[in-house]
């Protein structure tokens, strides 16, 4: 069923670069003298992002990168943009030390089996002070079950929310803390409640198109949260499939042997198997999720290889 979308009225000082799922969206703010970019995608798409920014900045300096959080699909272009344009980088405060030391374990690149080019930050986002982006003040909203250190940005004047991975048009990012036995569902509930109270006119998610109907998205997100929360194995299974699909989006095609070798080295799938599916061994668990991805049309076997399907 197709639905006609009313065009979204965004201020002229901002532009959304909708990227897909391997790379997060980027938002380019231009206040007339300098450009800021929010989030920079996955590392393998960094050369494309550098080209896009070169075109969009129209001779103005790229002064600043701001990251909503430090997952590999949101900061992967930081290093390439910094090498090319010398912007400053602002990150949420929670993982500052891990970034400075480039601790890939704490930054969860090792645990997820994802890559990120090393960068360093210049400033920390102050959770108590609005950020100035594109001539507007944006309140910084902390938290969420996907990543407790994540920052969302809300313009009260325009009633626009940059929601990162806390709210998508149909869902939200994997609730990673729960996989490790920490709390995440309650935090996800809290951030959805906060967004409900703001009732934004437009939501710019970390992935997928910007959308106007925040009420419908929130309803879907609450339902999804209830579904996951009532049986945490569902969250674990979903996380495992997301991690496999994400890797497949990057490598495009693989032998099953290479896939097994890759995930045997990453913590999250081993953790998911031990905590949630102890009766399966890791390889069996992975095979069953690959089968589910194939049945769902997200991957296919051909010529002895597993291929990504968009």
Which residues contribute to the site for Zn ion (CB under 5 A)?
71, 165, 173
Closest contact distance (angstroms) between CB of 251 and Zn ion is 20
39 φψ region: left (φ > 0), alpha (ψ -120 to 50), beta (else)? left
State the residue number with the nearest CB to Zn ion: 71
| Alpha helices per DSSP H over the chain | 46-56, 72-75, 78-85, 96-101, 109-112, 176-179, 185-198, 214-229, 232-251, 256-264, 267-276, 282-295
Nearer to Zn ion, 19 or 71 (CB): 71
Tell me the backbone φ, ψ of residue 167, rounded to 5 degrees.
Answer: -150, 120
Q: Between residues 158 and 165, which has the closer beta carbon with respect to Zn ion?
A: 165
- Smallest distance from the beta carbon of 239 to Zn ion, in angstroms? 12
> Minimum distance from CB of 68 to Zn ion (Å)?
8
User: CA–CA separation, 26 vs 58, rounded Å?
Assistant: 17
Pairwise CA distance, residues 269 & 38, whole Å:
30
3-state secondary structure of 188: helix
Smallest gap, in angstroms, from Cβ of residue 219 to Zn ion?
22
Supply the minimum distance, in Å, between the C-beta of residue 71 and Zn ion: 3
Q: Looking at beta carbons only, is 165 or 187 nearer to Zn ion?
A: 165
Nearer to Zn ion, 71 or 245 (CB): 71
CB of 23 to Zn ion, least distance (A): 12
Task: Categorise residue 284: left if φ over 0, alpha if ψ from -120 to 50, beta otherwise.
Answer: alpha
29 versus 176: smaller Cβ distance to Zn ion: 176
Q: For Zn ion, which is the closer residue by CB, 35 or 217?
A: 217
Tell me whether residue 158 or residue 206 sits nearer to Zn ion (CB atom): 206
Distances (CA, A) of 220 to 151, 194, 308: 21, 16, 27
Please, what is the minimum distance in Å from the beta carbon of residue 74 to Zn ion? 6
- Give the nearest distance from C-beta 69 to Zn ion in angstroms: 6
Cα separations (Å) of 204 from 68, 200, 267, 277? 12, 10, 31, 36
What crossing angle do the helices spanning 214-229 and 185-198 adopt, rounded to 10°? 170
Residue closer to Zn ion by CB (options 72, 308) is 72
């Amino acid at each position: 069923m197709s639905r006609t979308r009313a065009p979204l009225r965004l201020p002229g000082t901002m532009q959304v670069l909708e990227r897909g799922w391997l790379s997060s969206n980027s938002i380019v703010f231009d206040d007339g003298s300098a450009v800021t970019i929010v989030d920079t995608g996955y590392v393998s798409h960094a050369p494309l992002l550098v080209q896009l920014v070169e075109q969009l900045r129209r001779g103005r300096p790229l002064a600043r990168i701001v990251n909503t959080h430090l997952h590999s699909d949101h900061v992967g272009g930081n290093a390439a943009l910094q090498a090319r344009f010398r912007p400053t980088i602002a990150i949420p405060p929670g993982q500052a030390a891990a970034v400075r030391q480039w601790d890939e374990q704490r930054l969860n690149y090792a645990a997820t089996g994802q890559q990120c080019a090393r960068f360093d930050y210049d400033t920390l986002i102050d959770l108590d002070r609005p950020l100035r982006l594109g001539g507007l003040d944006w309140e910084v909203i902390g938290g969420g079950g996907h990543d407790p250190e994540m920052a969302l940005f809300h313009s009260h004047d325009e009633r626009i929310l940059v929601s990162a991975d806390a709210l998508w048009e149909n869902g939200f990012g994997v609730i990673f803390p729960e996989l490790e036995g920490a709390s995440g569902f309650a935090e996800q509930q809290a951030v959805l409640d906060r967004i409900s109270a703001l009732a934004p006119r437009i939501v710019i998610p970390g992935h997928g198109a910007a959308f106007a109907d925040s009420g419908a998205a929130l309803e879907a997100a609450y339902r999804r949260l209830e579904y996951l929360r009532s049986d945490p194995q569902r969250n674990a299974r979903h996380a495992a499939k997301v991690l496999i699909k994400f890797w497949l989006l990057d490598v495009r095609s693989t032998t099953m042997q290479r896939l097994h070798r890759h995930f045997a080295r990453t913590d999250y799938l081993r953790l998911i198997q031990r905590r949630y599916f102890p009766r399966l061994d890791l390889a069996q668990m992975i095979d069953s999720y690959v089968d589910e991805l194939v049945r769902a049309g997200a991957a296919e076997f051909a010529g002895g290889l597993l291929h990504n399907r968009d």
